[in-house]
Structure 1
Amino acid sequence: MLERAMVLLDLFTPQHPRQTITELALGSELPVPTVFRICRELTRLGALERGDDGRFQIGLRVWEIGSRAPRAHGLRSVAMPFMEDLHEITGQNVQLVVRDHLEAVYLERLSSHDAVGLVGRAGGRLPLHASSGGLVLLAHAPQGVFDDVVAAGLRALTPFTITEEPALRSQLAEIRRTEIVIARQYLNLGTLAIASPIRRSRDVVAALSVVVPLDTGSATLVPALQAASRAISRGIS
């Protein structure tokens, strides 16, 4: 029951935030009566909400529970003041990212109405190899994670995404050496993304990134980003 419920919850995406029983059944490959029973129970518990048109959407109860996750809550509360400072400096996108298995999860994003447009959102997931924060996390992940990422396929999100294993190995080695990554249009066309690691003791537990228009100079952004990352690292150690 729990596994099937998680399968259904995972079907709600930014592209499909509201779905019918039939759509959920097709997406999950579960029988319609089974989907109906699970959705009815999830609605009773507040994990789903049902509109007047019969479509379901994620309920506030899911957000309430997720906000209590220790890995997210403590890190976010320490990081927010420094993220706000970076956002004030850049006027663009500032992101806090952690790794969950083979994906980068965006715990928080600060943006503005005139910031460069991005794929993904706070709470969203992206492949590790295609995003600046994901690359930092992959660079410091166990070897088995790298092997699994490669085995899963290095999908191109733009013509500039790294899709070859030797190039990815080289990029990750450079990240470990310099403690920074500068990614030009790997994930979003017209963007420059810069990320650096956040550490708890010696372990990299998150990444901090800024995403700006492609023609923005990185000379002033790199020191500011690294200083913020170090400050967050001290705050969570």
Structure 2
Amino acid sequence: MARRVPTGPVLGRALSILEAFGPRHTRLTLTDLARRAGLPLSTVHRLAGELVSWGALERDAAGRYSVGLRLWEVGSLAPRGLGLRERALPYLEDLSQVTHENVQLAVREGAEVVFVERIAGSRAVPVHTRVGGRFALSATGVGLVLLAHAPREVQEEVIGGPIERFTAYTVTDPQALRRLLADVRANGFAVSDRQVTEDALSVGAPIRDPHGAVVAALSLVVRHGTVSPHALAPLVLSSARAISRTLT
């Protein structure tokens, strides 16, 4: 269910309509939009019409709404996504071609990971991530890297939980997670072993700006048991350092 926005400013209500869409809710009827946005049907009907006119929404012959291309065009201009992706893409493609595995690029938005790019390798294990999708900071390879280098208040917010459990191997104990983040900082890379799915292992490394601040993370996701994470780490670190150099 979309996050409820009080029936107040028009902008807030329009945003609540856009938030009603999700990976499993890409086409919605007017009634679905009103229910998921928590707004009156008449309000949604009026605002949806304005959003369609602008191009933020599209309406098909059956009367169902979907996110419009105009919104995608505007969103693609976000500097943290577009500029980073363009600089990183050649190195992501090289890493994918060498390993034939999943390669992911992500940034932190608050207490979540936002995936900027993902390349699926020919031998890749299935993953739950998608470009533009969000995930918990505490479980994935990129998430652990970003969390380890996040401001202290963000770390405390995540560690203070509740920490979502995805598999029996997900680290949910606060002290164990603190130790894991300390290891990430000490080793220079993160290992997420079966924390998201029981058949996947992820190795992540930080991407830094010219001042040394971690602005993004890169990861390689492979099938658990096929290769040692320490064998993957040099490849991931090398690619992350190469991308970092392009940001200068």
Query: Would you say same fold, with TM above 0.5?
Result: yes
Structure 2 gap ranges (5+): 1-9
Residue in structure 1 matching 2:225, options 215, 220, 229: 215
Determine the C-alpha separation between the residues in 1 that align with 2:160 and 2:38. 25
Q: Secondary structure at the match of 1:141?
A: coil
**Is the deviation greater in 135-144 or in 24-33?**
24-33
Structure-2 separation of matches of 1:87 and 1:204: 22
**Which of residues 184, 189, 210 in structure 2 aligns to 1:180?**
189
Q: Is the 8 A contact 1:192 1:216 kept in 2?
A: no
Report the number of matched residues: 237
Q: Which moved more, 1:226-235 or 1:157-166?
A: 157-166
What are the superposed Cα offsets for residues 169-209 of structure 1, whole Å, 9 maximum, x if unpaired? Answer: 11111101111111111112200101000000210000000
Report deviation, 1:120. Answer: 2.1
Q: In structure 2, what is the equivalent of residue 28 of structure 1? A: 37
Structure 1 residue 151 displacement after superposition: 4.0
CA distance in 1, matches of 2:16, 2:37: 7
- Aligned-CA RMSD value: 1.3
Aligned partners of 2:188, 2:133: CA distance in 1, in Å? 24
Q: Give the equivalent residue in structure 2 for 1:45.
A: 54
2:22 corresponds to 1:10 = no
1:236 to 203, 222, 247: 247
Tell me if the contact between 1:184 and 1:192 (Cα under 8 Å) persists in the aligned partners.
Answer: yes
Match of 2:199 in 1: 190
1:80 Cα deviation from its structure 2 partner: 0.5
Identity rate, percent: 43
Secondary structure at the counterpart of residue 176 of structure 1: helix
Give the ranges of 4+ consecutive aligned residues of structure 1 lying more than 4 Å apart after TM superposition. none
TM-score (norm 2): 0.92
Task: Tell me the CA shift for residue 220 of structure 1.
Answer: 3.1
> Given the two structures, how large is their TM-score scaled by the length of structure 1?
0.96
| SS class of match (2:138) | helix
Uncovered stretches (5+) of structure 1, i.e. residues with no partner: none
Give the letter aligned to residue 218 of structure 2: L
Match of 1:66 in 2: 75
- Go from structure 1 to structure 2 and tell me whether the alpha carbon gap of 1:150 and 1:26 turns closer, same or farther (over 3 Å shift): farther
